[in-house]
Copies of this chain bind each other. A is one copy, B any other.
């Protein structure tokens, strides 16, 4: 009896390893070829596994695709939240701090392997399976954009920025730090470290020209009260 329970609860180590290998390989193939163009034989070969094992683990192609989207969504959201936690709430040099943050954002969330894959899947299959990406919409932009907006509102409250609408500010921040990477994103090209940094630097400079404090942070609160 006890061994039956153990077998149910704790699958062999190699088992889970193969499941992950299959999902990882499927990720790459689905992203490269699209759902219709993806080939189970190719996925199996890329995972170093027989085709039958793919079916044993995931049932059929559609279920495998759902598993891929789910895994990717979780990984990307985790990365975004981890990066959000490094937001410079008490900046010493606001320009340098925001550039560093923007570069982390680009590198870890948007230009990462997972970020690129998720973006591509949303672009290619989002229109056909909108409910599949509902989880992403809610826990992704739906949660992180307001969170980012709150950080900017706090910076404004502390006198480091001058903003009207924090949500618009957050969207403009994201748009500006990626402004020079748009063509690479569309074509699926991985931008170089230098390009990422350049885009972040120029974006933050423009961001601060628009939203920077009009006077030194220390004096702004007094003036606002007067």
A169 nearest in chain B by CB position: B206
Interface string of A170-214 (1 = CB under 8 A from B): 011011101110110011110000000000001100110111000
Q: Does A36 contact B (CB under 8 A)?
A: yes
**Distance (Å) between the CB of A120 and the closest chain B CB?**
7
Question: What B residues does A126 contact at CB under 8 A?
Answer: 186-188
The secondary-structure label for the interface of chain A is: helix
Q: Does A58 contact B (CB under 8 A)?
A: no
Question: What B residues does A178 contact at CB under 8 A?
Answer: 175
* Interface residues contributed by chain A, number (CB under 8 Å): 41
Question: What B residues does A53 contact at CB under 8 A?
Answer: none
Question: What B residues does A32 contact at CB under 8 A?
Answer: 127-128
Q: Does A35 contact B (CB under 8 A)?
A: yes
Q: Does A141 contact B (CB under 8 A)?
A: yes
CA distance A179 to B186 in the complex (A): 16
CA distance A179 to B122 in the complex (A): 18
| Also in contact, A187 and B130, with CB within 8 A (given A172-B203, A182-B175) | yes
Question: What B residues does A108 contact at CB under 8 A?
Answer: none
Question: What B residues does A124 contact at CB under 8 A?
Answer: 34, 123-124
Q: Are A119 and B175 in contact (CB under 8 A)?
A: no
CA distance A87 to B166 in the complex (A): 30
Question: B-contacting residues of A (Cβ < 8 Å)?
Answer: 32-37, 119-120, 122-124, 126-128, 130, 133, 137, 141, 165, 168, 171-172, 174-176, 178-180, 182-183, 186-189, 202-203, 206-207, 209-211
